[in-house]
Amino acid sequence: MVTQYIFIYCSAGGLVAYSESKPYNGLSSVDSSQVEAKKKRVVVLGTGWAGTSFLKDLDCSLYDVQVVSPLNYFAFTPLLPSVTCGTMEARSIVEPIRNILKKKNGDIQFWEAKCVKIDAANKRVHCRSNNSMILKGKDEFVVDYDYLVIAIGARANTFNTPGVMEHCHFLKEIVDAQKIRRSVIDCFERASLPNLTEDERKTALHFVIVGGGPTGVEFAAELHDFVCEDLVEIYPTVKDLVKITVIQSADHILNMFDERISLFAEQKFQRDGTEVKTGQRVISVSDKAITTKAKADGKVSSLPYGMVVWSTGIGIRPVLMDFMQQIGQNNTRAIATDEWLQIEGCDGIYALGDCGTIHQRKIMEDISEIFNVADKDKSGTLTVKEFRDVIEDICVRYPQVEQYLKNKRMRNVVDLLNDSKGNERKKSIELDIEGFKSALSRVDLQTKNLPATAQVAAQQGAYLARCFNHMKASEDNPEGPLKFRELGRHQFQPFRYKHFGQFAPLGGEQTAAELALPGDWISIGRSTQWLWYSVYASKQVSWRTRALVVSDWTRRSVFGRDSSRI
């Protein structure tokens, strides 16, 4: 089930927006619309999971497509922790974005630049090249759009903890992983120098990971394997001084997983000698030590370290923060979109992946309108038959209803209505507006945010590409659910995430996995490691990276990991 990466194309909605390109005096502007006046201009910011998935599935012959990203490659980020210790080479998990684009029919342009400002009023983005030093003044340019797809990902979130930016490593990008790799070796070389005391050596070899999520845990596991399988042989004098500590603010590591997995991971780490400090919040990081405060008793302690990797969640990139201020959003986690991934209040601007969060409309906001639409005979009460006619549209528009039924182990809506009437089971039930409200009153509690994972981002990219591909056809034949506040139907089905499962590699050829839905099926051990290998190999974007990834695993098992500090 997991080895096939099937995207479920739920669809509907998505407003069609169009604006004439406005003349602009000043910075030079990319106005390809003059050439092909009829094609709408789609500008994609970012070449991560969401952006690349969108571009791969988009029918590029329908649009004039431009891509802006400071990185000219796509990186298979789930393998980043493997890059930190040389289990995987960085180049094996990247694919040049131009390689991906050249396979598309249609003329896609790629600009290696950073978006520095989104100007929604004039429908244009301001970009700055990476080569600003050399270009001197010609490094900024402007790109006009009709549709803007923001898929710029997120930055590491320091929660404004002092010293984190200066002294910690992060694990978001390829360069981060490469830096960590060099830094691990640096610590070992430093600890091997002649004029250090035993304590100084121990400090140099104290690796601290802040954050007990999948990334932090996988890095801790990789590092432990690297030390035990490779470094002990070549640094024999210092091998016993290595210590790995994971600091987690919650009570367990991997707390988004089933608790059996959390427990297994904690036990494995204990056997390995990796210390797990739970219920600890980091309050500051200096160049020598990291200071934590216990949540339980408020006790403050200071740990001298050799290297810290900070992996505690994601924050909003500055350019998006600016844009959110422009449009009056003040989320702290990501920019809010509707269920069709369009940013609320911004026609034709979409946010995918880690930089966006779907703001699921609550059913209670529309409850009267739903009742009115459903009550066809305007009798003031809703029969089961009347309710049945609209329930499908309700479930598509408000997926929390389906989730609620599932969690309550109800077979269908009749049970839901019955439930509000005190578990009587009859088909003749009729509800007035108050009864209807009360039947659905607890449904909205099921709404929850999607996790910031590659899986979500990839599905969103594919979903949006499908919407763009069907834009014309669906104008006349809308595919989406009934509109309850207006006439007609939504143009597309809203985005619906299909969870295929999640892996948590724990080192030593042990991997835990949660498959299909959370808690549905968990799997731990060596066989899961092989499942992990096969899933990650099959999910690669090209045959080239697939071959490289497999050859890197082979190389590691034959020759071990390389410890050259390059």
* Structural tokens at position 159: 């929660």
Q: Cβ of residue 9: shortest distance to its own copies, in angstroms? A: 29
Tokens 């992990």 label which residue? Answer: 532
User: How does DSSP assign 66-105, residue by residue?
Assistant: EEEESSSEEE-GGGHHHHHTTSS-GGGGEEEHHHHHHTSS
Q: Cβ of residue 28: shortest distance to its own copies, in angstroms? A: 4
* Structural tokens at position 471: 């834009």
d(CA 485, CA 493): 16
For its own copies, the closer CB: 129 or 291? 129
Tally of CB atoms within 10 A around 1: 9
In one-letter notation, the amino acid at residue 67 is V
Give Cβ neighbours of residue 435 (< 8 Å, ≥ 6 apart): 420, 421
Tokens 């998505």 label which residue? Answer: 14
For its own copies, the closer CB: 85 or 548? 548
For its own copies, the closer CB: 47 or 245? 47
For its own copies, the closer CB: 235 or 257? 235
Tokens 């839901």 label which residue? Answer: 416
Binding site for its own copies (CB under 8 A): 27-28, 30, 71-73, 89-91, 94-96, 98-99, 102, 109-113, 129-131, 134-135, 138, 140-141, 143, 174-175, 178, 185-186, 189-190, 192-196, 200, 233-235, 287, 543-544, 547-548, 551, 555, 558-559, 562-566
Q: How far is CA 78 from CA 49, 215, 522, in A?
A: 10, 8, 19
Q: Cβ of residue 564: shortest distance to its own copies, in angstroms? A: 4
Q: In what order do the strands lie in the sheet with 510-515?
A: 501-507, 510-515, 521-525
d(CA 260, CA 340): 35
Tally of CB atoms within 10 A around 358: 21
For its own copies, the closer CB: 260 or 288? 288
For its own copies, the closer CB: 181 or 317? 181
Closest CA to 278 of 331, 212, 359, 335: 212
**Using only C-alpha atoms, what is the Rg of the chain?**
26
Task: Report phi then psi at 508, rounded to 5.
Answer: 55, 35
Q: How far is CA 61 from CA 36, 54, 57, 304, 552, in A?
A: 11, 14, 12, 58, 37
Q: Cβ of residue 78: shortest distance to its own copies, in angstroms? A: 17
For its own copies, the closer CB: 175 or 473? 175
For its own copies, the closer CB: 527 or 551? 551
Q: Cβ of residue 64: shortest distance to its own copies, in angstroms? A: 13
User: How far is CA 468 from its chain centroid?
Assistant: 22
Tokens 């003349």 label which residue? Answer: 23
Report yes or no: 124 and 145 within 8 Å, Cβ to Cβ. yes
Closest CA to 307 of 420, 399, 226: 226
Q: Cβ of residue 130: shortest distance to its own copies, in angstroms? A: 7
d(CA 340, CA 489): 14
Closest CA to 112 of 151, 144, 69, 150: 69
Q: Quickly list H helices, 152-258.
A: 164-167, 174-191, 198-204, 214-226, 232-234
d(CA 301, CA 294): 8
User: H or E stretch including 294?
Assistant: strand 289-294
Q: Cβ of residue 402: shortest distance to its own copies, in angstroms? A: 42
Closest CA to 49 of 516, 454, 483, 560: 454
